[in-house]
A and B are shown apart, each in its own frame.
Chain A
Amino acid sequence: MQVVVCVKQIPDPAGPQALDPETHFLVRPTEQVLDDTDRYGVEMGLQIAQKHGGSVTLVSMGPAGSMQGIRQALAMGADKAVIIDDGDLKGSDALTTARVLAAAISRQAFDLVIAGTESTDGYSGVLPQMLAELLDAPALTYATSVEAGDGAITIHRQTAAGYDVVEASLPAVVAVTAGVVEPRYPTFKGIMDAKKKDVETLSASDLGIDTALDQRVDSVEAAPPREAGAKIEDDGEAHLRIIELLEQRKVI
């Protein structure tokens, strides 16, 4: 089973996030972390490859920087990584990103491509679907459980009402939700091994991708703030203030 996992390095979400005042693109420091959402995809890929034999290749588009995020995914156990790092891809929309990732993925045979449902910093939430269309494969999205093997895949797909059971043949693209599996922590040996693993870096032109930007961010301004009201310390009677407000709002 040849498994590809799409992972993204993002600015540490715990830190302050900033936009470039001119381009309005997210400022990406050299030191970026692995998008937490992608840990689920990596874990899923490792489990499937371990069960059926095969390898896990990471594919990532964006500034490589210190590669801390990629190293973390390699330290979890992925075999190798392909990074598409090209200044011309700055500010790319989901379609261009999908074209880049699809071109990188298509350079070798694959059975399963795993992505997250949405990224923490971009959250366009359409990339796996685009990838699937480009690769002429089914997109098994919003997966809360995945069984893959023997040329077929079955998932539970989250719906507004509950979930559907969905089946398709491989090759396929699956987009997993957080919580689909419990991601492992890298071991010391994993961290040491990750330093020796193969990381290939490509540019957009290596893949023959047009980097023109169709979508632009024209302006960013502060939203009208919502005024906070009273803040009270609970002295044992705070619930009465809540009741008073609920009465005013005619809820009770």
Chain B
Amino acid sequence: MASVWVFVEEDNGAPSTIGLELLTKAREMGDVTVVYLGEGGDAAFARLGEHGASRVVHLDSGDALPAAPVAAALADLAGESGPELIMFGQAYTDRDVAGRLAVRLGRSLLSNASDVALDGDGVVTTHEIFGGTQLAKASVAGPGPHLVIVRPKSFPVEASGGGAPEVSVVELPDAGAAAATITARHAEEREGPQLGEAAVIVSGGRGLGAAESYELVETLAKKLRAATGATRAIVDAGWVPYAKQVGQTGKTVKPDVYIAAGISGAMQHLVGMKDSKTIIAINKDADAPIFGIADLGVVGDVHNVLPKLIEALESR
């Protein structure tokens, strides 16, 4: 059986969602070791076991920026016990560790994968390109360790019913000249349903016309108990924080319903939301690309349609 490692970062005391997605996939491909970065604890480790980890290597970088010491430790471990595949999520720290580890191991790194398989002679990955209109298959041949970064929401999270994993702790080395320190952490307020998990999302784009009009998106979202999202255009314009950005360089979402208000439907936005079950788009340009993937397209002005929609919902 192939040996597969999955890098999982802790998020609020528990394994991150993307980590569990990767774990669900990894156990299909082989015997899974999780490299767990965070404070750890029995509950977190048990959760990894429930999702298919047989072993956990626990690392805690404290206030050090993790990538340099973690990559150094992983390069040593991979040299000793040589997994066929090491999986990372398309997430901040994952990317930092994967990049440095690729250099340490001298291995090619496949990023932005939406699927991954070991085919006996190496690793094969699938990548959505040109806004998901085309699928590319890439491969690296030969023995591992192969390094792959997978996009969020590529696999569902499913428990395997596995027992407690065997846990070992690895001390991190001093990163020397590559060291950096986290001196403060700031969490933005989280209010209402979160983008990554919400069943319904209302997103706004530049078609709203002004920052103040984002209130229409927020009001509608409240009525539908939905999370609010945005395009990069209005994030860059400073109307809303980056945490709301949906797309290639923002979040990947797959809600039951996605409402796009004043969004043109650029490739880089579509790649983050095109797998939503139902898409409703409101745009005043009948030729806007967003209509190409919308289940219901309304050619109209957001300043007419949204207030009426909110009012109608209020009177129900």
Residues of chain A lying within 8 A (CB to CB) of residue B139: 215-216, 218
Q: Which residue of A lies closest to B302 (CB)?
A: A234
* Proximity bits, A160-175, B CB within 8 Å = 1, else 0: 1111111111001000
Report yes or no: A129 in contact with B185, Cβ–Cβ below 8 A: no
A52 within 8 Å of B by Cβ? no
Q: Which of B27-35, B46-54, B65-73, B161-169 contacts A (4 or more CB under 8 A)?
A: B65-73
Q: Which of A53-61, A81-89, A200-208, A243-251 contacts B (4 or more CB under 8 A)?
A: A243-251
- Say whether, besides A166-B183, A234-B300, A239-B305, A217 and B249 are in contact (CB < 8 Å): no
B110, B149, B249, B259 interface centre (most CB from chain A within 10 Å): B249
B292 within 8 Å of A by Cβ? yes
Question: What DSSP secondary structure best describes chain A's contact surface?
Answer: mixed
From A214, A223, A225, contact of B108 by CB (8 A) = A214
Chain A proximity of B102: nearest CB distance (Å): 5
Residues of chain B lying within 8 A (CB to CB) of residue A140: 65, 180
* Proximity bits, B220-237, A CB within 8 Å = 1, else 0: 000010000000100110
Report yes or no: A165 in contact with B296, Cβ–Cβ below 8 A: no
Assembled-state Cα–Cα distance A216/B140 (Å): 7
- Say whether, besides A126-B99, A126-B102, A162-B187, A239 and B309 are in contact (CB < 8 Å): yes
- Say whether, besides A94-B111, A168-B181, A231-B291, A160 and B135 are in contact (CB < 8 Å): no
Report yes or no: B309 in contact with A242, Cβ–Cβ below 8 A: yes
Report yes or no: A166 in contact with B136, Cβ–Cβ below 8 A: no
Report yes or no: B112 in contact with A123, Cβ–Cβ below 8 A: yes
* Proximity bits, B111-122, A CB within 8 Å = 1, else 0: 110000000000
Residues of chain A lying within 8 A (CB to CB) of residue B92: 141-142, 157-160
Report yes or no: A133 in contact with B297, Cβ–Cβ below 8 A: no
B274 within 8 Å of A by Cβ? yes
Report yes or no: B280 in contact with A234, Cβ–Cβ below 8 A: no
Report yes or no: B293 in contact with A226, Cβ–Cβ below 8 A: yes
Q: Which residue of B lies closest to A234 (CB)?
A: B300
* Proximity bits, A206-239, B CB within 8 Å = 1, else 0: 0000000011111111110110111111101011
Residues of chain B lying within 8 A (CB to CB) of residue A127: 99
- Say whether, besides A126-B102, A165-B184, A168-B179, A160 and B309 are in contact (CB < 8 Å): no
Q: Which residue of A lies closest to B90 (CB)?
A: A125
Report yes or no: A230 in contact with B296, Cβ–Cβ below 8 A: yes
Report yes or no: A165 in contact with B71, Cβ–Cβ below 8 A: no
Chain B proximity of A8: nearest CB distance (Å): 16
Interface range, A side: 35 or more
A137, A140, A214, A252 interface centre (most CB from chain B within 10 Å): A214
B39 within 8 Å of A by Cβ? no
- Say whether, besides A95-B109, A158-B92, A229-B294, A168 and B180 are in contact (CB < 8 Å): yes
A79 within 8 Å of B by Cβ? no
Residues of chain A lying within 8 A (CB to CB) of residue B176: 136
Report yes or no: A139 in contact with B96, Cβ–Cβ below 8 A: yes
- Say whether, besides A130-B103, A249-B278, A123 and B68 are in contact (CB < 8 Å): no
Residues of chain B lying within 8 A (CB to CB) of residue A35: none
A24, A117, A138 interface centre (most CB from chain B within 10 Å): A138
Residues of chain A lying within 8 A (CB to CB) of residue B184: 164-165
A181 within 8 Å of B by Cβ? no
A93 within 8 Å of B by Cβ? yes
Assembled-state Cα–Cα distance A236/B173 (Å): 65
Report yes or no: A139 in contact with B108, Cβ–Cβ below 8 A: no
B182 within 8 Å of A by Cβ? yes
Cβ < 8 Å to A, chain B residues 176-200 = 176-188, 190, 199-200
19 more contacts with CB within 8 A, not counting A165-B184, A240-B312, are: A93-B109, A94-B99, A95-B108, A124-B109, A126-B149, A129-B100, A132-B100, A139-B180, A157-B182, A160-B11, A164-B184, A166-B65, A218-B124, A218-B138, A223-B132, A238-B282, A241-B296, A242-B296, A251-B200
Q: Which residue of A lies closest to B306 (CB)?
A: A239
Report yes or no: A126 in contact with B95, Cβ–Cβ below 8 A: yes
Report yes or no: A129 in contact with B257, Cβ–Cβ below 8 A: no
Residues of chain A lying within 8 A (CB to CB) of residue B179: 138, 168
From B103, B137, B243, contact of A95 by CB (8 A) = B103
Residues of chain B lying within 8 A (CB to CB) of residue A169: 177
* Proximity bits, A60-96, B CB within 8 Å = 1, else 0: 0000000000000000000000000000000001110
Assembled-state Cα–Cα distance A117/B232 (Å): 14
B44 within 8 Å of A by Cβ? no
Between-chain CB contacts (< 8 Å), 11 pairs: A17-B130, A95-B107, A126-B111, A129-B67, A161-B187, A164-B182, A167-B181, A168-B180, A232-B299, A236-B304, A245-B295
